[in-house]
Amino acid sequence: MKIFEKWRYPVFSLFLVFILISLSILANTYTIQIVSVETTDMEGNPKTTFKCGEFVVVKVTIKSLLTYEAQDYLLIVEVFNPNDVVIALGFTSGSLAPGEQVSTGYGFKIPECCTPGTFKIKVFVWNGWPAVLGENWKALSASYTTTITVKT
């Protein structure tokens, strides 16, 4: 028993640190996963190289990581040209049941007179608009970035 008494406080301290770290990690865990982001043409064919003036469809698949309740989401797709200027911004909202996976998307037209190069596409999943939710706003998933190549 003397051995147990000698290690009781260090073991308890390590256990307490483990619990606190675990709770901290859980508090910052996302509740939605962006499973995939794919760019396609209007017919749904996967495509990563486009021409100025063409339409691009960004297909996003997300999954709820919650197992106990539904959650509402706001999915945002933002497109930047090679000069890092936003050329398209779209959003959709919905609700996911526990463990549910859905695919949704956003289409945009590349400007006719565009600068060819690498266009960046960023996807965000939030619980709503920051301006509406204020301090209750939060990201529900890590953001996701992909690119397309645009030629003249």
Contact indicator for 94, 70 with CB cutoff of 8 Å: no
Report the alpha-carbon distance of residue 121 to residue 80 in Å, rounded.
6
Kindly provide the b/e burial profile for residues 69-97, where b requires at least 16 CB atoms within 10 angstroms of the residue's own CB.
eebebbbbbbbbbeeeeebbeeeeeeebe
Task: Parse the chain into domains and list their residue ranges.
Answer: 1-29, 31-151
Using CA of residue 132, residue 130, residue 34, residue 25, what is the dihedral sign? negative
| Mean pLDDT value of segment 141-148 | 98
31-151, CATH topology level: Immunoglobulin-like (2.60.40)
Res 135: pLDDT: 94
Q: With pLDDT > 70 as the criterion, what percentage of the chain qualifies?
A: 82
Decide: pTM greater than 0.85.
Answer: no
Per the CB < 8 A criterion, the answer to whether 76 and 140 are in contact is no
Tell me the pLDDT tens digit for each residue of 15-38.
544 454 444 444 558 999 999 999
What's the confidence (pLDDT) of residue 91?
A: 96
Please determine, for residue 97, whether its predicted confidence score (pLDDT) is greater than 80: yes
Whole-number Å distance between alpha carbons of 38 and 113: 24
Facing residues of 40 across strands?
A: 46, 57
Q: How far apart are CA 21 and CA 27, in angstroms?
A: 10
